[in-house]
């Protein structure tokens, strides 16, 4: 089971990632663009994944992954932390970040 703290740690470990907020909840950005958020209840988050990844996750675990209200465009994916292991959440956060990171930031991550 993952937590909001796991998402925060995973996001902030990525090159250029910064914590900010919008709509009264934390978000994580790279190059000024949001790739992850933590919902106000702290039990779920939203990741900016590709539509194909989102579809596969929702099909595989519809009780854990879903399309958030107003998030049909762009692959936004609601994640119930209770249904995701920390390693899986880290991988998904990284995938969301990779979709917005610069080539330099990607190279920095690969060089670690």
pLDDT single digits (tens) 80-92: 999 999 999 999 9
* Nearest CA-CA partner of 45 in 64, 32, 19: 64
| Six token digits for residue 110 | 């690969």
Question: By the 8 A CB rule, do 109 and 26 touch?
Answer: no
**Which pLDDT score is estimated for 72?**
66
**Which pLDDT score is estimated for 63?**
97
> pLDDT of 22-57, one tens digit each?
888 999 999 999 999 999 999 999 999 998 999 999
Domain ranges of the chain: 4-106
**Which pLDDT score is estimated for 61?**
97
Per-residue pLDDT for 71 more than 70?
no
Please tell me which residue, 70 or 99, carries the higher pLDDT value.
99
Please tell me which residue, 104 or 112, carries the higher pLDDT value.
104
**Which pLDDT score is estimated for 69?**
78
pTM over cut 0.75: yes
Residue 15's Cβ-side half-sphere holds a number of Cα atoms within 13 Å equal to: 14
Mean pLDDT of the chain: 94
| Domain 4-106: top CATH class | alpha beta
């Amino acid at each position: 089971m993952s937590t909001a703290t796991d998402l925060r740690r995973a996001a902030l470990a990525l090159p250029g990632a910064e914590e900010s907020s919008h709509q009264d909840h934390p978000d994580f950005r790279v190059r000024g663009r949001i790739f992850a958020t933590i919902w106000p209840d702290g039990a779920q988050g939203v990741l900016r994944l590709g539509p194909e990844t989102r579809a596969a996750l929702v099909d595989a675990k519809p009780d854990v992954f879903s399309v958030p209200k107003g998030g049909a465009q762009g692959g936004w994916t609601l994640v119930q932390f209770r249904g995701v292991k920390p390693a899986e959440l880290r991988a998904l956060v990284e995938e969301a970040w990779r979709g917005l990171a610069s080539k330099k930031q990607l190279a920095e991550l690969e060089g670690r």
